[in-house]
Structure 1
Amino acid sequence: MKNLLCIVLFFFSLKGLAQEISVDKAALKRNQVVNDTMRSSNKSTSNKNIKNQDATIDLYKIISFENDTTIVDTTLTIKKEYKFNYLRKDNFELLNFSNLGQTYNTLSSNFYSERTMPLFGARARHFNYMEIEDINYYHVPTPFTELLYKSAFEQGQLLDAFFTVNTSEQLNFSIAYKGLRSLGKYQHILTSTGNFRFTTNYTTKNSRYKVRAHIVMQDLMNQENGGLQDEDLVNFETGDEEFLDRSVFDPNFENAESILEGKRFHLEHQYQITKAQDSLANNTLIIGNNISFEDKYYQFTQTTQNDYFGDAFLSSSINDKVTLEDFYNRFYASYHNKDIGHLRLNLDYNNFNYGYDTVVFLDDNSITNRIKGDVLSIGGAYNKSFNKFSIEGELGVNVSGDFEGNFFKAKASYKINDNTKALATFNSSSRAPNYNFQLYQSDYLNYNWDNTSLFKNINTQQIAFQLQSKKIANLSFDYTIIDNYTYFQKETDTTFVKPYQANSSINYFRLKLNKEIKYGKFALDNTIMYQEVLNGENILNVPKIITRNTLYYSNHFFKKALYLQTGVIFNYFSEYNMNAYDPVLAEFYVQNNTKIGNFPRLDFFINAKVRQTRIYLKAEHFNSALTGYNYYSAPNYPYRDFTVRFGIVWNFFL
Structure 2
Amino acid sequence: MSKRLGTYLLPAVLLLAALLPGRVCAQLDARSLMRAQQRGENTNLYGVPNPAPEDEEGQAQQPVDSTKEKRIKKPLESYFFSDSIRALPNFKWNVSQDYNRVRIEPLDTTLTAWRIDYPFYRNGVGDAPIGALGQGSVPLNYFERPQWQDFSFASPFHSYIYDMRNAPFYNGKRPFLQMTYIESGQKRYRETNFEIRHAQNISPSTSFSIDYKSRGTRGLYEWSRTKNQNIAVTVAHTGKRYSVHAGYVNNHIETQENGGVVGEWAIRDTVFEMPSGVPMRLTNAKAENIYRNHAFFLTQSYAIPLQRVTENDFSLADLSAVFIGHSIEYDIWSKTYTDIFGTYTDERGSKDENGNFVATEGHEYYDNWFIHPDASRDTLCERRLSNRLFVQAQPWDRNGVIGTIDGGVGFDIHTYSQFALGDYITGKYRRTRKTSYFAYGSIAGKIKKYVDWDANMKVYPSGYRGGDMSLGAHLALKGYLRGHALILEGRFSNEKRSPGYWQENLFSNHYVWSNSLAKENETRIEASFRVPDYALELAAWQGVVKNKIYYGPVGPGDSNVGVLQHDGNVSLTSLYARKDFRIGGLHLDNRVLLQWSTNQEVIPVPLVSAFLSYYYEFWVVRDVLRLQIGLDGRYNTKYYAPGYNPALSAFYNQRETEVGNYPYTDVFVMGKWKRMRIFLKYQHVNRGLFGNGDYFSVARYPLNPGMFKMGISWGFYD
Length-normalised TM-score, structure 1: 0.86
1:639 Cα deviation from its structure 2 partner: 1.4
Q: C-alpha separation between the residues in 1 aligned to 2:133 and 2:145?
A: 28
Counterpart residue number, 2:115: 81
Instruction: Say which is worse superposed, 149-158 or 405-414, in terms of deviation.
Output: 149-158
Contact 2:664 2:695 in 1 (8 A): no
Residue 484 to residue 591, structure 1, CA distance change in 2 (3 Å): same
Counterpart amino acid of 2:152?
F
Task: State the partner residue of 2:520.
Answer: 458
- 1:508 aligned to 550, 572, 583, which one? 572
| Equivalent residue, structure 2, for 1:3 | none
Change (3 A) 1:22 1:209: farther
Question: Residue in 2 aligned with 1:286?
Answer: 323
Q: Indicate if the aligned counterparts of 2:527 and 2:541 stay in contact, CA closer than 8 A.
A: yes
Mean alpha-carbon deviation: is it higher for 418-427 or for 267-276?
267-276
Q: Does 1:252 align with 2:309?
A: no
Correspondence list, 1:629-648, <5 A: 629-648=693-712
Structure 1 residues 182 and 472 mapped into 2: Cα distance closer, same or farther (>3 Å)? closer
The one of 321, 326, 329 equivalent to 2:379 is 321
C-alpha distance in 2, partners of 1:128/1:113?
13
Question: Match for residue 386 of structure 1?
Answer: 447
Moved more, 84-93 or 125-134: 84-93
Provide the alpha-carbon RMSD of the alignment: 2.5
**Runs (5+) with no aligned partner, structure 2:** 1-73, 97-101, 344-363, 424-428
Aligned-pair CA distance for 1:311: 2.8
Q: In structure 2, what is the equivalent of residue 138 of structure 1?
A: 170
Q: Which structure 1 residue ranges, 4+ long, deviate > 6 Å from structure 2?
A: 111-115
Measure the CA separation in 1 of the matches of 2:220 and 2:331.
35
Distance 2:641 2:384 in 1: 33
Aligned residue number for residue 543 of structure 1: 606
Structure 1 equivalent of residue 80 of structure 2:
27
Q: What secondary structure sits across from 1:624 in the alignment?
A: coil
Cα pair 1:227 1:252 within 8 Å, conserved: yes
* Contact 2:124–2:591, Cα closer than 8 Å, also in 1: no
Give 1:594's match in structure 2, choosing from 646, 650, 657.
Answer: 657
Q: Higher Cα Rg: structure 1 or 2?
A: 2
Task: Output the CA distance in 2 between the equivalents of 1:553 and 1:250.
Answer: 40
Partner amino acid for 1:346?
A: G
2:260 aligns with one of 227, 237, 241: 227
Q: Secondary structure at the match of 2:268?
A: helix
SS in 2 for 1:419: strand
Separation of aligned partners in 1, 2:147 and 2:654: 29
Aligned counterpart, 1:365: none
Aligned-pair CA distance for 1:308: 1.1
Cα deviation digits, residues 55-106 of structure 1 (max 9, x gap): x8x22121222413356432222x3334x33458436230233322111243
Equivalent of 1:449, from 502, 513, 516? 513
Judged with a 3 Å threshold, the aligned counterparts in structure 2 of structure 1 residues 479 and 345 are, in CA distance, closer, same or farther, namely same
Alpha-carbon separation, structure 2, partners of 1:23 and 1:485: 47
Q: 1:585 aligns with which of 634, 643, 648?
A: 648
Instruction: Confirm or deny that 1:96 pairs with 2:133.
Output: no
- After superposition, the Cα gap between the structure-2 partners of 1:119 and 1:177, relative to the gap in structure 1 and judged at 3 Å, is same
Match of 2:500 in 1: 434
1:40 corresponds to: none
Contact 2:619 2:626 (8 Å CA) reproduced: yes
Distance between the aligned counterparts of 1:72 and 1:187, measured in 2?
Answer: 37
Task: Note the C-alpha offset of 1:536.
Answer: 1.7
1:415 maps onto 2:478 in alignment: yes
Give yes or no for contact 1:23–1:210 (8 Å, CA) kept in 2.
no
Are the counterparts in 1 of residues 184 and 708 from structure 2 also a CA contact under 8 Å? no
**For residues 188 and 570 of structure 1, do their structure 2 counterparts lie closer, same or farther at Cα, with a shift above 3 Å needed?**
same
Cα gap change, 1:623 to 1:637, in 2 (>3 Å): same
The reply on whether 1:120 has 2:152 as its aligned counterpart is yes
In 1, distance between residues paired with 2:470 and 2:574?
A: 22
Which residue in 1 is equivalent to 2:638?
A: 575
The 5 Å alignment of 1:164-183 reads 164-183=199-218
Hey, what's the Cα distance between the residues in 2 that align with 1:512 and 1:156? Answer: 32
After TM superposition, give the deviation of residue 346 of structure 1 in Å.
0.6
Higher mean displacement: 370-379 or 103-112: 103-112
Q: From the superposition, tell whether residues 493 and 579 of structure 1 become closer, same or farther in structure 2 (CA, over 3 Å).
A: closer
Could you tell which deviates more after superposition, 219-228 or 387-396? Answer: 387-396
Sequence identity of aligned pairs in percent?
A: 21
Query: Does the CA-based 8 Å contact 2:192-2:215 persist in structure 1?
Result: yes
> TM-score normalized by structure 2?
0.78
Q: What is the aligned partner in structure 1 of residue 292 from structure 2? A: 261
Q: Contact conserved, 1:98 with 1:184, CA < 8 A, in 2?
A: no
Q: What are structure 1's unaligned runs of at least 5 residues?
A: 1-20, 35-55, 362-367
The CA distance in 1 between the partners of 2:184 and 2:496, in whole Å, is 41
Kindly indicate whether residue 414 of structure 2 is the aligned counterpart of residue 352 of structure 1. Answer: yes
Aligned to 1:303: 340
| CA-CA distance at 1:360 after TM superposition | 6.3
Deviations 1:416-448 (A, max 9, x none): 21421100110011111222211111112xx11
Q: Supply the distance in 2 between the matched residues of 1:501 and 1:63 (Cα, whole angstroms).
A: 38
Separation in 2 of the partners of 1:247 and 1:309? 23
Are the equivalent residues in 1 in contact too, given 2:225–2:256 (CA < 8 A)? yes
- What is the one-letter code of the residue matched to 1:97? I
* Residues 518 and 541 (structure 1), Cα distance of their counterparts in 2 relative to 1, 3 Å cut: same
Measure, in 1, the Cα distance between the counterparts of 2:243 and 2:75: 4
How far did residue 296 of structure 1 move?
A: 0.8
Q: After alignment, is 60-69 or 477-486 more displaced?
A: 60-69
The match for 2:224 among 186, 189, 194 is 189
Q: Distance in 1 between matches of 2:137 and 2:592?
A: 20
Distance 2:587 2:494 in 1: 39
Query: How big is each residue's C-alpha offset from its partner over 1:213-244, in whole Å with a ceiling of 9 and x where there is no partner?
Result: 110111101001111112xx32432243xx13
1:65 equivalent to 2:95? Answer: yes
For 2:416, give the aligned amino acid: Y
SS in 2 for 1:592: coil
Q: How does 1:481-630 map onto structure 2 within 5 Å? A: 481-492=544-555, 496-533=560-597, 535-626=598-689, 627-630=691-694
Contact 1:129–1:218 (CA under 8 A) maintained in structure 2: yes
Report if the CA contact (8 A) 1:111-1:462 is conserved.
Answer: no
Does residue 473 of the first structure (1) align with residue 536 of the second (2)? yes
Say if 2:76 and 2:204, in contact at 8 Å, map to a contact too.
no
Distance 2:439 2:82 in 1: 29
